[in-house]
Amino acid sequence: MYQGRTVLSQVLDFLPMHQFRQCVSRYGGNKGVRTFTCLDQFICMAFAQLTYRESLRDIQCCLRAMREKLYHIGIRGNISRSTLADANEKRDWRIYRDFALQLIEQARQLYADENFGLELKETVYALDASTIDLCLSVFPWAKFRTTKAGIKLHTLLDLRGNIPSFIDITDAKVHDVNILDKLIPETGSIYVMDRAYLDFERLYGMHQSLAYFVIRKKTNARFRRLYSSKVDKSTGIKCDQIILLTGFYTKKAYPEKLRRVKYFDIETGKNLNFFTNQFMFPALTIADLYRCRWQVEIFFKWIKQHLRIKAFYGTSENAVKTQIWVAISVYVLVAIMKKRMQIDLSLYTILQILSISLFEKKPVLQVLTQGDYRNQITNNNIQLKLFDN
């Protein structure tokens, strides 16, 4: 509710503070802390994400310039670069991971009925990973190759609302397929994956959990066709077959039947082959499901461009993971605010508006919905003259 409060204070009202305190208590985040609490740290880092701050000194200067307003947004401690650096270095990053997961759960409930382009009642997930390159001399704990460091962001994206339902941060050298061991498949849900995740033993475990998958076929996969279904080739579907794997190891790993769908993508001019254990959907729906997988690629591109997860405020593993999880929390928080306030703007537009209005004392809904982007055109010549005639 607006009571002469800043926009940032109103945005923070959407945070479930009870759950945040539980996360802090679980890992003893405020143990021995006098002034700069975990909440102070989270608000400072969230401010940095929302306003695209470049460094800890940048955060310090901007917040100190608004010193008289900090108490009213929840910051009780003094802001200093060294204090924030120590907090990012020492306070357990799992506090912010658990809190981000709490926000994700709320967001998924809000977006449960969101349309993602296909009229399906099943929950559809897209699984992929993205590597964040780091400097080996600055981040030696994240060694990837001989002269390179990096971390990998593994994400399971719920396509209804593009909300990440599972995130894991690992060394860049961890292969994508290993993340399947950490997933608990949901019965009846559909998992769409690229061929990097093609491991028939793990896929069979998913099949036994009564979950479905759609995955790109590798070129060396050996199989035997049992029978084919009729297809309308004008739709791009080239074949729809029921198959059995014939490789010595693959047929042991996945002994049951699979479905193979071959599709010609007119946009890229490529033939795409899919394996799936979903036998009821039309073949074109299988192809459309894989096309929706690109939403996770767009998600990675979006957060890398609009959140601070490529340049870091600290160099330790704890500081890097803290910053990434706070960035994810900010992304999900804005998504929650957008849905609850029924704001008809993209997340990008909301973030851009918030970045320049956080300390204004206006109702946040007014700030986000009453912007006038129209250019006023006049017939009068209003250009200034540099020189008199």
Distance in angstroms (rounded) separating the CA atoms of residues 160 and 121: 11
Q: Is 343 helix (H, G, I), strand (E, B) or coil?
A: coil
pTM of the model: 0.87
Tokens matching residue 104:
């994700």
Tokens matching residue 114:
């969101």
Domain boundaries, the chain: 7-95+322-369, 195-292
**Number of CB atoms found within 10 A of residue 155's CB:** 23
Residue 210 φ/ψ region, left for φ over 0, alpha for ψ in the -120 to 50 degree band, beta for the rest: left
Distance in angstroms (rounded) separating the CA atoms of residues 228 and 208: 24
377 Cβ neighbours under 8 A, 6+ residues apart: none
pLDDT tens for the chain, residues 1 to 389: 556 788 999 999 999 999 999 999 999 999 988 888 999 999 999 999 999 998 999 999 988 888 888 887 878 777 889 999 999 999 999 999 999 999 999 999 999 888 888 888 889 999 999 999 998 889 999 988 888 899 999 999 999 888 999 999 999 999 999 999 999 999 999 999 999 999 999 999 999 999 999 999 998 899 999 999 999 988 999 999 999 999 999 999 999 999 999 999 888 888 999 999 999 999 999 999 999 998 898 899 888 888 888 889 999 999 999 999 999 999 999 999 999 999 988 888 999 999 999 998 889 999 998 765 443 334 444 444 444 44
Tokens matching residue 191:
């998992």
DSSP state of 80: -
Tokens matching residue 77:
């401690």
CA-closest candidate to residue 102, choices 94, 114, 91: 94
